[in-house]
Amino acid sequence: MRRETQNLLLFLLGGALLKIALGGSYLRYVKPALFPWLVVAGVVMVALSAFAIVRDIRAGGPERHEHNSRSPWMLLLPVFAIFLIAPPALGSDSVTRDRMTAPAAPKESLFPNLPPEQAPLLSMSEFVTRVIWDDSGALNGRAVRLQGFVVHPTPGTTQLARMRISCCAADAAPVKVDLAAAAQAAELPADTWIEVTGKLRPGTATEANDYVPTLETVLIRPIPTPQDTYEY
């Protein structure tokens, strides 16, 4: 591969990295804490390629280094994916393929009190973790609000789900809640984002059903897809 082509590939890769970072679509792939590192990496790649191009121009043209290998051209695939395809965040397909494992218990021996409002908004991860590990019964008979996307794992069943990641989309795991008495949600297409108000059906999250609790739904309303679709 000619050196000017190598410089162009490096410039395109750096530009693609800056595009997803500054445009916010990086949240489909990695957690927010990695944003500064993505920007730094993109700037360094663009700067290095620009320096090499300017140096070659001043020297009267790049030295010729021809190689028969075509593998470097594979570097263009992520560039094309970012600029042309823009893969979406993980959704219902990932939920139906993966089995859920019980979330780890928090380091604290006791869970903090639930917010005093009538139906507090909890993250899916907090709700499921409380269901599995909090034996105080604080959720019993208590209305809560959860936000996630619709999943239809089998005909006639509906779940609310959210993907939880530790670092990037490669380690994503689904957090799921079965929705009971959810005729409205059953009519919604998969991946539709909704907010559900309901109450826990005690004793429904067991090892036999992959620790998926059941929520007796009271109210369901569609919501816009959040910019950051993952939980951490």
State the average pLDDT over residues 132-156. Answer: 93
Could you tell me which residues come within 8 angstroms of residue 96 by beta carbon, excluding any fewer than 6 positions away?
Answer: 151, 153
Mean pLDDT (the chain) is 83
**93-231 homologous superfamily:** Nucleic acid-binding proteins (2.40.50.140)
Pairing mode, if any, of strands 143-151 and 173-180? unpaired
Give the model's pLDDT for residue 196: 97
Give percent of the chain with pLDDT exceeding 70: 78
Are the C-beta atoms of residues 93 and 163 closer than 8 Å to each other? no
**Domain spans of the chain?**
3-87, 93-231
Q: Which of 2-6, 28-32, 203-207 has the highest mean pLDDT?
A: 203-207
Are the C-beta atoms of residues 8 and 71 closer than 8 Å to each other? no
Give the model's pLDDT for residue 215: 97
Rounded CA-CA distance 172/175 in Å is 10
Give the model's pLDDT for residue 109: 47
**DSSP helix/strand/coil, 177:** strand
